[in-house]
Structure 1
Amino acid sequence: LHLTRAIFLIAWTRFCCSFLGSQLRKEFGIIWQGSGQKRWDIEVTTRSAADENLRKGLDVRILSNFAPSHSQVLRAGDALYLPPRHAHWGVSAAADCLTYSVGFRAPTAQELVESLVNAAAQRVPSDSLWNMSVPLDPADPFGRGRISRQDVAYAKQVCRDALDAFLGDDAAFEDFLGSTLTRPKRKSRTPSATAWQSPASLPRWTSPSAPHGDMSPASLLEFADFDFGESHMDSDDLDDEDAEEDGLSFFSLAELEGGLVLPAEGSQLVVERIAADAPGAPTLRHAETAVLAFIPTPDASGCRLFLDGQPVPVQPDAEAHLPLLCARSRLIPADLSAPLRESQGLRSLVAKLLACDALYEEL
């Protein structure tokens, strides 16, 4: 299903034309030439935000002035690295031109601070009202509208106390940082509306009261509840006929069009096949838009997991395996089988990630 979607998207992006004009990236990126040729004109010096003069009346960010100092023609198989804030303009040089562009974006310092302030504000009691340090004097003809120096100092102290309290709470700050760095920059992947209209169409690990408005992988994790017990299957116990006899149900394409969602039993079976080194055990991949990251504990005894802007509860015996889970977007059975056998918590976690479409089976 993922391969079918990729082919569909590539087909729609296969066209012969130039970009609308010169552009700037705020992140560093890599451009791969899939087929045909494309000429890239590039400014080798960076532009500051003040020098980013844009053409007016457009919905896209196109520079009004462009003075390239370097030109490069990419042929099939070539790659071009573009540092942040280097203006560039690509023009197709062949009818079969197909270009892949990958951007690697990190939060700006401004975004990080803004998120920090918002997170700290959530911890301030909502009933904590503003108290003027100097009461108004009815006899003062100029008292109305005055913000006294004492009020300025009081307000500054309120803000300082809130930020200090937040920064002093290591667990809260790590939650904030992990969530901020993994938060999707675009709209989360959501199942189609028709796939979730009735309880009968819900995956078996959800409930009718699930917040269907937010069906991102991280939000779905709380509805995925697997218990593997202390044992795992042997490879001799696993075959396609067993799966059919167990009554595993699968969704139609219409139900799956918003995400490759596995029933709970299907996710468990996949994990057990990998743990048992069963013939044909699948390789797993990170979903293309899922962002997984971990933060080691201060004593390096464990890790905390984050997915798509949310902390993910992890059983203690699975924490040691989070670096493996996060560092590789392609997880082969040879790397996963032993950790899965050792850790019940890891088996449960991987099954949940499969069920919520943060991981999927490689075709």
Structure 2
Amino acid sequence: HGPFDDATFERLSEGHWSLLVQAVDHYVPSIAALMDEFDFLPRWRLDDIMVSYAPPGGSVGPHIDQYDVFLLQASGHRRWQLGGKQPGNAPIIQGIDLRILQSFEIEADSDWTLAPGDMLYLPPGWAHHGVSQTDDCMTISVGFRAPSADEAITSYADYVGEQMSDSQRYSDAGMAPAEEVGELDDAAVERMRQFILSTLDNPEQVAQWFGRVMTQPKYIDQVVPLEEPMSEADLVAQLQDGEPLFHMPGSRFAWRSDASGTTLFVDGDGHSCSETLAKRLADPTPMYEEVLEIDGAKALITQLINSGSLGFMGEGDDEE
């Protein structure tokens, strides 16, 4: 939904509505800086920061989220009531976009009003209901990435399938003569199970898939390749002029080292490089000319700039 113009808000009542803006950290650097306060968790676990505004009585209704979330009160006051852990199939109201619970019972001692600076943590599947108490109620929600089992299995299977050759096939090696020609016996099922496990149970393969899937952008259209590619010489010149290099809004970085080497994961892709370079490029702080002293930096940074994952702060951009 959105964007909304002034006329839309003028038609609304004085209360009992909410405006939710997702991925604000992708557009407002001062909001993105809040991520630094959660550095007790790996950056790749963080999803995005949503900001909600509501006049008195505004609420999305009692619901559950399937991921961890921190709710930070930025201004005004919001009353939160919790209903405890809910099953994944808890009945919801049908026919609307939001997953609002059909019934909601408040747990004892689970009713608070948050003031500016207060924060509430909610684990996955915990029923909660927040209602604005003032006309300046603004809440910041820091959400976390939590792939579901079906998403993970489907994604990993797709990744494994891309790595395998067509020659890897089921076979009947060691099979005893069939007693019944139409029977799918236990031995055949076990052979197939072992065949599947042998292709999937590969820790290095899991790590390579996991790094890629956990760095996929939330909104793919935010990572846009340059229309006119930058050269390594242009990169060096801009850094020598003192221009800082940044992660582009919405880009995601992570790295991993194992016995086979180091991989820098960026926006769903993997790049082999030194651990020193991977650590520096995954660090969200601005980069300056000194980064060029790391072996392999010029080539990889140029590639990431051209793919839209790294960039220089353009004229007219505001960090505030």
TM-score range, shorter chain: 0.5 to 0.7
TM-score normalised by structure 2 residue count: 0.67
- Among residues 239, 246, 254, which one is paired with 1:271 in the alignment? 239
Shift of 1:22: 0.9
Q: Which runs of 5+ in 2 are unaligned?
A: 1-23, 32-48
Q: Which runs of 5+ in 1 are unaligned?
A: 197-201, 206-223, 229-264
Deviations 1:87-112 (A, max 9, x none): 11111112222222120123244533
The structure-2 alpha-carbon separation of the partners of 1:159 and 1:204, relative to structure 1 and needing over 3 Å to count, comes to: farther
Q: Distance in 2 between matches of 1:118 and 1:32?
A: 38
2:252 corresponds in structure 1 to 291
Q: Are residues 1:100 and 2:61 paired? A: no
In our comparison, the structure showing a higher alpha carbon Rg is 1
Q: Are residues 1:204 and 2:228 paired? A: yes
Shift of 1:29: 1.0
Amino acid paired to 1:322: A
1:307 corresponds in structure 2 to 266
2:40 corresponds in structure 1 to none
Alignment of 1:1-363 (within 5 A): 5-6=27-28, 14-16=53-55, 18-43=58-83, 45-50=84-89, 52-69=90-107, 70-122=110-162, 123=164, 125=166, 146=182, 148-150=183-185, 153-154=187-188, 156-168=190-202, 171-184=204-217, 186-190=218-222, 203-205=227-229, 226-227=231-232, 265=234, 267-273=235-241, 278=242, 281-282=243-244, 284-298=245-259, 302-312=261-271, 314=272, 316=273, 318-326=274-282, 328-331=283-286, 333=288, 337-343=289-295, 345-361=296-312, 363=318
TM-score normalised by structure 1 residue count: 0.60
Q: Is the 8 A contact 2:267 2:309 kept in 1?
A: no
Amino acid paired to 1:174: A
The structure-2 alpha-carbon separation of the partners of 1:187 and 1:332, relative to structure 1 and needing over 3 Å to count, comes to: closer
Paired residues, what number?
266
1:212 corresponds in structure 2 to none
Deviations 1:328-347 (A, max 9, x none): 322354xxx4342233x123
Give the secondary structure class of the aligned counterpart of 1:87.
strand
Q: Is the 8 A contact 1:38 1:75 kept in 2?
A: yes
Shift of 1:322: 1.1
2:41 corresponds in structure 1 to none
- Which has more strand, going by share of residues? 2
Q: Distance in 1 between matches of 2:200 and 2:222?
A: 32
- Which has more helix, going by share of residues? 1
Q: Distance in 1 between matches of 2:249 and 2:222?
A: 14
Shift of 1:171: 4.6
Q: Distance in 1 between matches of 2:239 and 2:299?
A: 9
